Amino acid sequence: MRCIHVSMRARGLEMASKDCVKVAVRVRPFNKRERDAGSRCIISMTSNNISIQDPRNPQNSRAFTFDYTYWSHSGFSRNKDGLFVPEETGGRYADQASVFLDLGQGILDNALQGYNATLLAYGQTGSGKSYSMVGYGPNKGLIPTLCERLFQSIRSMQDSRQCQVFFSMLEIYNEQVVDLLSKTSRSVSGLRVREDQQRGFYVEGLRRVPCDSAVQVEQLMDQGTRTRTTAATHMNANSSRSHMLIIIQLKQIFSKECITKQSNIYLVDLAGSERQRSSGSEADRLKEGTAINLSLTTLGNVISALADMTLGKKVVHIPYRDSVLTKLLQSALGGNSRTVMIATLSPADICYEESLSTLRYAERAKRIQNKAVVNES
Ligand code: ADP
Ligand code: MG
């Protein structure tokens, strides 16, 4: 049989579809600190609407609509004043499995069809980003479940396609890229981000580990997490201030049809969105604060510019190049990817400012239109 190679670009253009970034908001249970402080719940939900009340001015509340809004499945307890009672306000409880069905399954399906797919977690430190993405103990989060299902799908494929999976894990801290799977060094020196026509921005020399089981991925994630902690200690840093990216590359070879489909899944646990507070020396603090704000601020600027474009405003420049994070997320934001954001919140009045700012950020992200294509050659 003769193979006809259709260029990715040509095929891509034919099949490009515009779709908006999907946004889910998840509210975690009260934590001990909030309970001890007698915090009040300032969030309410009805179906996909979520409102936040200004604790200093209860008449003043802001409403938002997202693709999904969730209470957590447990941890809200009732006291005699009815303080921790979200049931009354409507909305939906979701455990890790239902969040996976809503968000993770779509990411996986898209990847299997040959689309790039991205999942981003955004929110203040302690609001549930890692719980949602990675999970703790038996409460497995989106990433491990997605990997389990990916290998299950591969094993149960009926056709003759061959699949290859590669796993990478990195951290962006102070605009430096650290390979969390690097065996050779726990180096803080950082890898370079390069750009080429075909691949766009990529991390030069990043380790890509071929994987054939979810157990192997889990081991790599543990290794990566340990390196992240070691690196943070080494740099006298706090890992909640770094961004963690997992890249899963899926290559599917259909030899009969002479087609190769290639998809990148980006799974991103962003640094805490709160304004950076003091720690370490003045110089470190300045350097760290600026660089971290640079990545998150630039992400915010990119999201705003793209949201403005959707609203029909004239936008001359989208500042992808201004930070490492936005370079690596270029295709995820307004480009060739199907993208989902999970924004995480505390329910408590003491987190009002940060929660409102997260909701505003998520609202802008929701407007971004991507142009995903099947990556086929
Ligand atoms: P982040 O990664 O945003 O800093 P974590 O995911 O580590 O925050 O969450 C902080 C704490 O809150 C953890 O102890 C976690 O188990 C708990 N938590 C977060 N989200 C949920 C949730 N949806 N349901 C139950 N517990 C949660
Ligand atoms: Mg975390």
Domain segments of the chain as ranges = 8-297+336-372
Query: For residues 174 and 247, which has the higher predicted lDDT (pLDDT)?
Result: 247
Any ligand 1 atom below 6 A from CB of 126? yes
Any ligand 1 atom below 6 A from CB of 347? no
Q: Report residue 256's pLDDT band, with 50, 70 and 90 as the boundaries.
A: confident
What local confidence, expressed as pLDDT, does residue 90 receive?
A: 64
Ligand 1 centre to CA of 326 (Å) is: 25
What local confidence, expressed as pLDDT, does residue 188 receive?
A: 54
Any ligand 1 atom below 6 A from CB of 334? no
**Annotation: CATH topology of 8-297+336-372:** Kinesin (3.40.850)
Q: Report residue 86's pLDDT band, with 50, 70 and 90 as the boundaries.
A: low
Ligand 1 centre to CA of 346 (Å) is: 9
Q: Relative to the alpha carbon of 239, which ligand is closest?
A: 2
Ligand 2 centre to CA of 51 (Å) is: 25
Q: Which residue has the CA at smallest separation from atom 21 of ligand 1? A: 28
Any ligand 1 atom below 6 A from CB of 225? no
Any ligand 1 atom below 6 A from CB of 128? yes
What local confidence, expressed as pLDDT, does residue 213 receive?
A: 96
What local confidence, expressed as pLDDT, does residue 182 receive?
A: 87
Window from 62-71, 225-234, 297-306 with minimum mean pLDDT? 225-234
Window from 130-134, 164-168, 287-291, 358-362 with minimum mean pLDDT? 287-291
Any ligand 1 atom below 6 A from CB of 72? yes
**Averaged over 306-313, what is the pLDDT?**
88
What local confidence, expressed as pLDDT, does residue 19 receive?
A: 85
Given the cut 0.95, state whether the ipTM is greater than it.
Answer: yes
Residue of 93, 131, 268 to test ligand 1 pocket, by largest number of atoms within 8 Å of CB:
131
Q: Which residue has the CA at smallest separation from atom 22 of ligand 1? A: 28
* Cα Dmax for the chain: 75
Question: Could you give the residue numbers annotated as active site?
Answer: 126, 128-131, 269, 272
Q: How confident is the prediction for the chain on average, in pLDDT?
A: 85
Q: Relative to the alpha carbon of 273, which ligand is closest?
A: 1
What local confidence, expressed as pLDDT, does residue 284 receive?
A: 55
Measure the CA–CA gap between 238 and 243, rounded to whole angstroms. Answer: 11
